[in-house]
Structure 1
């Protein structure tokens, strides 16, 4: 019995100290500096040992990507990639091979930029990535290829690293990331001269929150885009953290669910709230034309797919004065929902005006890999020319 008692004693102390460590870590995260490092994970990226100014090492053709910098209104330097469509590259390969390689000091002098600016049929997807990493990390490079490859594709990609990420300067904050996103769109509109009617904004994970903030700003300016695509999004950060697990294994706030007072204290100390449902609803209300696509994978281990349900509900309710009762909304949604099997579905919400909101819940894709799957590329294609 003695060895058994010793085992139980060790297990008890291990559990006790584990709980103390967990609670201590949570309260440590009430410090804004530490909290933002834990939230954005912006210092965890490969740019320390991989030269992002050589995109060929990520599988792209020579000079298919032009790395460049631009400044934000508050003087941060944002690192960006302009990805040329492969079919367009093939038609101009000789010129592209003569283009200087590496980080461009003046992208307006590059042939790739001129092909974007001077072609009245060019299309542009502005990509806002999730937390951690950089423009060149994980599934992101595969995503650029899936969105722009094709013999007849004229879809260019503009991807950025927010302030503090990758090779960009500064430190991330909620307001700062939205400034970066707005500056990116302003660059596309005013420098590349691509009209909003030929631009799709695509965000994944944290990038969906950035996208919601950016499109709200432009809706306030009276600017309507070709479309907006949100992949693996969330309603707001405090609510998400009660459900979120790092890599699907390490829960954040869910273990303190039985202690509402403690949960409230920690929620109140979250600095960056990212209220995407509110911003998305405001974007829908203010816009004259909306083509909004919301996608999520059922097997996403990090953000539950029901978070995208909340985004869809907020956007759809914003198309009516005063919104709708929950039961009425569910009935109306059911009428336009196509059951795809295995618990997956497509819901399309249309108004008498020019607003179409589409939610697609797919079976597979996990959290980030879904970026490379056909439904995301299809959503972007439909956004450029989708009327029903």
Structure 2
């Protein structure tokens, strides 16, 4: 029995030091600078050894993408990509190839820009990506191809790197990133001259929070968009954190689930809250016309798909004047749900013909790969009214 004592002693000290380290880490995470380094992971990228000013390295044809910069009202320089639809590129290939490559000094002088600005039928998807990396990271470039390389010749894409990401200046904060998102839309409307009725705002992961804040801002200004697409979103950062897993395998704050009081205390120190459910509800409530698509993969290991349920309930509730009991909304929702097998389903909520909310939970796609799936492209097409008859199914 004496030989057992050292084992228990070793286990005790391992537990002690492990717990101590975890508590110290929690205390350290209350530091705003460190929080933002972890939350935005803007210095973590896989494109260090590639030149994002040469999109051909990521499988695009020459000059299909025009890299350029624009400036925010608080004087940050934001790096962006304008991605042409491939079918349109094919019609003007020789002229586009002949133009200079790389980051455009003045994008308004490029053929690609003029094709966007001068076409009365042109559509624009403004893409807000998730945390970490650049516009060229991971599945993002594949998602642009899925959206731009289809049969239509008039859907362009604008993708940006928030402040502190990639080649953009500054450091990310919730307030600052929202300014970047609004500035991107302002550029599209005021420089590219694309009316909001021909713009879809699409966000993934962190980008859904950016999208929610941006469309809420414009709803307060009386501006409606063709549609809004949220992919792998979350209701609010503070609610997400206990169930969030870094890279899908490290649930760093999961131990706090067992102590709600401790988590509430710790969450008071979270500096960027990103209350997406509240902002989406405000957007729906204030907008005259809503085409909202919420897409999430059932096998998302980073952000649980149940967050899509929370976003849907908040949006649906906002279509009623005085709000509804959650159980009643869920009962009404079940009547308009089509089950697709393997746990996948599509739920549609309509408030007249003006406000339509569609939640689609797909069985597969994980957290980021789902961006490349036809489900997301279909949502954008439906938002633009390109489905049969230009209307969504009940």
TM-score, normalised to structure 2's length?
0.96
Matches within 5 A, 1:253-332: 253-332=253-332
For residue 148 of structure 2, what is the aligned residue in structure 1? 148
Structure 1 SS opposite 2:124: strand
Matches within 5 A, 1:231-246: 231-246=231-246
For residue 220 of structure 1, what is the aligned residue in structure 2? 220
1:150–1:326 Cα change, 3 Å = closer
Aligned 8 A contact 2:313 2:326 in 1: no
CA drift at 1:257: 1.9
For residue 14 of structure 1, what is the aligned residue in structure 2? 14
Question: Structure 1: how far apart are the matches of 2:93 and 2:238?
Answer: 49
Aligned 8 A contact 1:47 1:167 in 2: no
Matches within 5 A, 1:32-181: 32-181=32-181
Deviates more, 1:319-328 or 1:305-314: 319-328
- Alignment of 1:364 with 2:364, yes or no, is yes
Structure 1 SS opposite 2:258: coil
For residue 230 of structure 2, what is the aligned residue in structure 1? 230
Encode CA deviations 1:49-91: one digit per residue, 9 max, x unaligned: 3211011000000111000000000000000000011111111
Question: Structure 2: how far apart are the matches of 1:40 and 1:160?
Answer: 15
Aligned 8 A contact 2:47 2:137 in 1: no
Question: Structure 1: how far apart are the matches of 2:182 and 2:228?
Answer: 14
Encode CA deviations 1:1-35: one digit per residue, 9 max, x unaligned: 56654444333322321221111111101011111
Aligned 8 A contact 1:127 1:158 in 2: yes
Question: Structure 2: how far apart are the matches of 1:2 and 1:50?
Answer: 60
Question: Structure 2: how far apart are the matches of 1:347 and 1:353?
Answer: 16
Deviates more, 1:41-50 or 1:52-61: 41-50
Structure 1 SS opposite 2:219: helix
Structure 2 SS opposite 1:202: strand
Structure 1 unaligned runs (5+)?
A: none
Structure 2 SS opposite 1:309: helix
Structure 1 SS opposite 2:383: helix
Aligned 8 A contact 1:64 1:89 in 2: yes
For residue 391 of structure 2, what is the aligned residue in structure 1? 387
RMSD between superposed Cα atoms in Å? 1.2
CA drift at 1:248: 1.9
Question: Structure 2: how far apart are the matches of 1:148 and 1:194?
Answer: 17
For residue 31 of structure 1, what is the aligned residue in structure 2? 31
Structure 1 SS opposite 2:172: coil
Question: Structure 1: how far apart are the matches of 2:188 and 2:109?
Answer: 15
Encode CA deviations 1:256-277: one digit per residue, 9 max, x unaligned: 2222332122110000000001
Encode CA deviations 1:329-369: one digit per residue, 9 max, x unaligned: 11111111111122211000001250000000010000000
Post-superposition, which runs of at least 4 consecutive aligned residues in structure 1 deviate over 6 A?
none
Question: Structure 2: how far apart are the matches of 1:182 and 1:152?
Answer: 27
For residue 338 of structure 1, what is the aligned residue in structure 2? 338
Structure 2 unaligned runs (5+)?
A: none
Aligned 8 A contact 1:83 1:144 in 2: yes
Number of aligned pairs? 388
Encode CA deviations 1:214-264: one digit per residue, 9 max, x unaligned: 000111111110000000000000000011111222113220222233212
Aligned 8 A contact 1:336 1:348 in 2: yes
